[in-house]
Homo-oligomer: A and B are copies of this chain.
Amino acid sequence: MDNPVGIFDSGIGGLTVVKEVIKLLPHENLVYFGDTARVPYGIKSKETIIKFSLENTLFLLQQDVKMIVIACNTSSSLALPIIRRHFKIPIIGVIMPGAKEAVYATKNKKVGVIGTRATINSGAYEEEIKRLDAGIKVFSQACPMFVPIVEEGWINDAITTKVAEKYLSVLKSKGIDTLILGCTHYPLLKNKIQQVMGKAVKLIDSAEQVAIEVKQVLSQEGVLNKERSRPSREYFVSDEVAIFKNVAKSFLGNELKEVKRVSNV
């Protein structure tokens, strides 16, 4: 019961999911792993993404986690179906919760999806949305520059508006009323994206929905943590701790005290 929930991401973006899980399930113990030595995943091949994701899963299993959340859209799109096949504990990704919320939100049945090149090429969101409602039209756009922009801290820069306009103009012309932010970095560009798409378009950030999914799974499995002691939250990265800590604040809203570096992946 008091085993931790394991969450991994290619780097730092998964902290947006951590934040929502802590909010909804404040008593759960957590272990986070960010693969900062091999980040980003979104420009790499399916085979490589699966290999890295399997290694991250094995690392979390060594921490005795009771379930795993793949808090990375690229990894969820390409590796989740394969990883799920191998392991006994429940493993969820971020695609299904995001797709579900978009299907619920859209009124004109035109949904947009933005993400890394690997996520968009996988067609994972489109597939999931169509499975829920075959009548919905899905329009996708890879936005490879958004991640480096967030990591460079150009959240409010005029250049970012230009980049957003370049990527989003086609989606805008399709008349979508709902847009899935299919990468955990993108919520940090929410204001810019909203400004370019217009106020009428609903932006879907799956982190909140993922937290709800975590609660449902733990509850179904009967492994919600009933203890009310102070929960433990451990953070591991594969590259330098200082680099991770510096950026973590903008994702998590507060500073991380202890982060450990591991070299076993």
Q: Which residues of A does B touch, CB under 8 Å?
A: 36-39, 43-48, 51, 144-145, 148-149, 151-152, 157-159, 162-163, 166, 238-240, 242-243, 263
Contacts and interface: CB of A to CB of B under 8 A. Distances in A.
B45 A239 contact: yes
Copies of this protein in the assembly total 2
Contact of A162 (B144, B152, B162, B243): B162
A239 B48 contact: yes
B37 A48 contact: yes
A157 B152 CA distance: 19
A44 B37 contact: yes
Contact of A37 (B38, B152, B240): B38
Contact of A45 (B51, B163, B243): B243
Nearest to A146: B148
Contacts of A148: 144-145, 148
Given A144-B151, A144-B152, A148-B148, A240 B47 contact: yes
Nearest to A37: B48
Contact of A149 (B47, B51, B145, B242): B145
Return the 8 tightest CB-CB contacts between A and B, nearest first: A45-B240, A148-B148, A37-B48, A48-B239, A159-B162, A38-B38, A44-B239, A45-B239
24 contacts: A36-B44, A37-B38, A37-B44, A37-B48, A39-B43, A43-B243, A44-B240, A44-B243, A45-B239, A45-B242, A45-B243, A46-B240, A48-B238, A48-B239, A48-B240, A51-B263, A144-B148, A144-B151, A144-B152, A145-B148, A145-B152, A158-B162, A159-B162, A159-B163
A86 to B, nearest CB: 19
Contacts of A158: 162
Contacts of A48: 37, 238-240
A38 to B, nearest CB: 5
A198 B227 CA distance: 66
A180 to B, nearest CB: 21
Contacts of A242: 45
A148 B157 CA distance: 17
